[in-house]
């Protein structure tokens, strides 16, 4: 399974013991780097009291706000001075003239459907980062419970936020590419959770004049490109997702784990309940094996799918950052990756608000029949199911 180890630039989220400050209560970035922050209250910290102190979110029935949205998005489009610009014909919008911090509940419902319909929306000229921690968290909770990341930095006393922090420079650039050719790591956030994220907002705090962009891939389009016969073979297959590699990376870097590692079993082909479409739900970051297949079979199929995903750049967009942009996307239907393409001495500092959505399912029938009670029973069987050999798995489930 080493073929599918994580490729994401974990140094952007994990504690760096080579450039750090340690107090009695927490770990954080070095004093020199702290002085360079425009928003020091957002400095990444790893609080020692949080080590293994959080549980994964209990099973719950998620009600997507996109079900209540207006498909014409009138509450958003009809405001004075609002502009909508397509990034590509099928994926992505750039919106100006709307303040996310000022949205009414009706506008938030339309926002949810807008983001799900176009996959990802970049909102320009935002004051989002200037709101209080509580205001931003309450904004996120409208769309679902907030995810607490097990290993990333967070503002002091604010574990509901996920921070990325990268200090550029020629030395850091050379270090990153010393043993690899590129740093592209397509993934959907924390798919190892039993109920992974849906609507996600990512806000830039500090950036350079260009570079460090985020790229997105549309997994609807990735799935639709497959032949009907291949689709029929993939429907019904299950994939094991794990956080164990991420936890090991965090521990090896000297950081903390807020939660115990977790494995989850998800459908390889996922059904989106609002849009009523199917997409591939697999990524190199957290997907480890396809259940019911022998090792070589699973590796070969995963390699085919991941190579198809990563080569399909005509299902891809790249969104540029500035310090007043907030990007909101649907983690169910998209993969994304950071882009390290600068070696100047500039900081990239941003925060993410991650809302938890429904349990991934493979069909509308499965979505309609799903209950928290049945799911809790299924979770208890995760290790048992993952341990079945191919013959046992076939006899039990096929």
Which pair of structure tokens corresponds to residue 375? Answer: 């799911």
Q: What pLDDT is attached to residue 11?
A: 64
Its domain, for residue 94, covers 63-397
Which pair of structure tokens corresponds to residue 315? Answer: 């299902």
| 389 belongs to a structural domain | yes
Q: What pLDDT is attached to residue 184?
A: 87
| 6 belongs to a structural domain | no
9: pLDDT strictly greater than 50: no
Confidence of residue 8 (pLDDT cuts 50, 70, 90): very low
Number of domains in the chain: 1
The answer to whether 100 touches 123, Cβ cutoff 8 Å, is yes
| 39 belongs to a structural domain | no
Q: What is the DSSP string of 218-278?
A: EHHHHHHTS-HHHHHHHTT-EEEEESHHHHHHHHHTT---SS---EEEEESEEEETTTTEE
pLDDT digits (tens, 9 = 90+) for 188-209: 999 999 999 999 999 999 998 8
With residue 370 as reference, give the H or E element that holds it.
none
Q: What pLDDT is attached to residue 167?
A: 82
CATH of the domain at 75: 3.60.130.10
pLDDT digits (tens, 9 = 90+) for 34-74: 999 999 999 999 999 999 999 999 999 999 999 999 999 99
Among 384, 356, 398, 396, residue whose Cα is nearest residue 60: 356
pTM exceeds 0.85, yes or no: yes
Give residue 193's Cα distance to chain centre. 11
CA 310/CA 131 separation, integer angstroms: 37
In sequence order, the 6+-apart residues with CB closer than 8 A to the CB of 23 are none
| 274 belongs to a structural domain | yes
In sequence order, the 6+-apart residues with CB closer than 8 A to the CB of 67 are 274
| 213 belongs to a structural domain | yes
31: pLDDT strictly greater than 50: yes
Among 242, 22, 246, residue whose Cα is nearest residue 150: 246
State the residue for tokens 């050379």: 174
The DSSP call for residue 146 is B
State the residue for tokens 């080590």: 51
CA 52/CA 262 separation, integer angstroms: 12
Confidence of residue 10 (pLDDT cuts 50, 70, 90): low
| 19 belongs to a structural domain | no
The answer to whether 193 touches 68, Cβ cutoff 8 Å, is no
| 36 belongs to a structural domain | no
* Mean pLDDT for the chain overall: 93
Among 355, 60, 385, residue whose Cα is nearest residue 240: 385
Confidence of residue 6 (pLDDT cuts 50, 70, 90): very low
What burial letters (b/e) apply to 125-153, b meaning 16+ CB within 10 Å?
ebebbebeeeebeebbeebbbbbbbbbbb
5: pLDDT strictly greater than 60: no
Which pair of structure tokens corresponds to residue 393? Answer: 């798995």
CA 220/CA 114 separation, integer angstroms: 16
173: pLDDT strictly greater than 90: no
């Amino acid at each position: 399974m080493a073929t599918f180890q994580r490729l994401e630039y974990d140094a952007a989220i994990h504690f760096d013991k080579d450039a750090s400050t340690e107090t009695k209560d927490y770990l954080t970035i070095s004093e020199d780097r702290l002085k360079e922050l425009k928003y020091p209250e957002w400095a990444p910290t790893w609080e020692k009291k949080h080590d293994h102190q959080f549980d994964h979110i209990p099973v719950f029935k998620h009600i997507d706000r996109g079900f209540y949205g207006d498909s014409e998005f009138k509450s958003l489009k009809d405001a004075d001075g609002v502009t909508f610009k397509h990034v590509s014909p099928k994926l992505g919008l750039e919106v100006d003239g709307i303040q996310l911090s000022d949205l009414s509940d009706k506008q938030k419902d339309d926002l949810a459907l807008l983001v799900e319909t176009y996959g990802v929306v970049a909102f320009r000229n935002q004051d989002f980062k200037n709101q209080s921690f509580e205001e931003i968290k309450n904004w996120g909770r409208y769309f679902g419970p907030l995810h607490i990341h097990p290993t990333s930095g967070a503002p002091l006393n604010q574990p509901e936020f996920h921070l990325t922090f990268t200090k550029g420079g020629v030395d850091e650039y050379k270090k990153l590419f010393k043993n690899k050719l590129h740093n592209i790591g397509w993934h959907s956030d924390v798919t190892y959770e039993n109920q992974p994220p849906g609507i996600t907002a990512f806000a830039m705090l500090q950036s350079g004049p260009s570079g460090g962009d985020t790229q997105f891939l549309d997994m609807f389009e990735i799935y639709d490109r497959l032949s009907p016969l291949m689709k029929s073979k993939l429907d019904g297959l299950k994939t094991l997702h794990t956080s164990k590699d991420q936890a090991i990376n965090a521990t090896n870097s000297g950081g903390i784990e807020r939660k115990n590692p977790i494995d989850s079993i998800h459908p390889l082909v996922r059904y989106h309940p609002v849009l009523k479409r199917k997409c591939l739900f697999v990524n190199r970051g957290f997907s480890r094996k396809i259940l019911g297949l022998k090792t070589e079979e699973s590796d070969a199929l995963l390699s085919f799918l991941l190579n198809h995903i990563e080569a399909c750049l005509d299902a891809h967009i790249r969104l540029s950052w500035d310090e007043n942009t907030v990007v909101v996307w649907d983690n169910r239907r998209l993969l994304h990756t950071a882009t390290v393409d600068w070696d100047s001495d500039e900081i990239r500092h941003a925060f993410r608000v991650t809302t938890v959505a429904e349990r991934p399912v493979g069909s509308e029938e499965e979505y309609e029949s799903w209950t928290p009670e049945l799911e809790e029973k299924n979770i208890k069987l995760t290790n048992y199911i993952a341990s079945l050999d191919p013959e046992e798995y076939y006899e039990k489930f096929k």
